[in-house]
Structures are given as structure tokens and as C-alpha cells.
């Protein structure tokens, strides 16, 4: 699941239809969740990530954390298998700050028991 947290609801670069940036971003992934979190307030997801170890720039701006929530942490994801082309490409990706395990979905009750 892809989650985007924004500080306001104003259009960002590439979100204004008709601009070159908008046309270039047409093939970008669409986030599953978007939450507007005004500066100074907490996101709904902060309970999952420790807030005490947040990092700030020298100017005092908060540096966002990269959080990955794995659905099946026991199975290697695309690009995690050493020796594959995907692994070589993924080596250039940023390393996430936090990796979480997605909660297990509730078990379905079987009828007739």
C-alpha cells in the first residue's frame, strides 16, 4: 500500500492538468491513501513509527521517514533475490528507514463447524 502525507491540499508540482509536468507524471503510481497533515499536527500513522527519533535539517525542517509495510515478509519481494537483474537495479534505491509487517487479515470462519 502506498501512503502519501501532505502538509496542505494545494496542488504540487505535476498535479496541475495541462502542464508539461502533469503530462510527464501521467504514468506515475497513484497512492492508495492521501492524508493532509497540517504542519505541527500528527499523522494518523505516527503511532506505527517512533516520533522521538525524527531527523531535522539544519534549517529545522522535518526529514520524512521512508516506511515500507511488507504484506508477506517471509517471501522475497521483487528485487530482493541476489544475482538477479532486478536486485542490481534495486541496489540504487534508497534504503527504507522503517520496515513494518502488515497485520494479518482476519481469518474467515468455515461453515459447518
Are 24 and 16 in contact by the 8 Å Cβ rule? The answer is: no
CA–CA separation, 89 and 85 (whole Å): 6
Say which residue, 105 or 90, is predicted with more confidence: 90
- pLDDT value at residue 49: 52
pLDDT score for 88: 92
From 69, 75, 71, select the one nearest 104 (Cα to Cα).
71
Question: Does residue 13 register a pLDDT over 60?
Answer: yes
> CA 67 to CA 48: how far, in whole Å?
10
Average pLDDT, the chain: 80
Domain-wise residue ranges, the chain: 1-65, 71-113
Which pLDDT tens digit goes with each residue over 50-98? 555 667 778 777 778 888 888 887 888 888 899 999 999 988 888 888 8
Other CB atoms within 10 Å distance of the CB of residue 97: 15
* pTM for this predicted structure: 0.41
Amino acid at each position: 500500500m502506498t501512503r502519501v502525507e501532505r502538509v496542505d491540499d494545494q496542488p504540487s508540482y505535476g498535479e496541475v492538468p495541462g502542464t508539461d509536468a502533469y503530462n510527464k507524471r501521467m504514468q506515475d503510481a497513484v497512492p492508495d491513501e492521501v492524508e493532509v497533515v497540517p504542519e505541527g499536527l500528527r499523522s494518523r500513522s505516527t503511532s506505527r513509527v517512533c516520533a522521538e527519533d525524527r531527523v531535522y535539517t539544519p534549517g529545522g525542517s522535518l526529514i520524512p521517514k521512508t516506511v515500507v509495510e511488507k504484506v508477506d515478509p517471509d517471501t522475497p519481494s521483487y528485487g530482493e533475490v541476489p544475482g538477479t537483474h532486478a536486485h542490481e537495479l534495486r541496489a540504487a534505491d534508497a534504503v527504507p528507514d522503517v520496515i513494518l509487517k502488515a497485520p494479518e487479515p482476519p481469518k474467515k470462519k468455515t461453515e459447518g463447524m
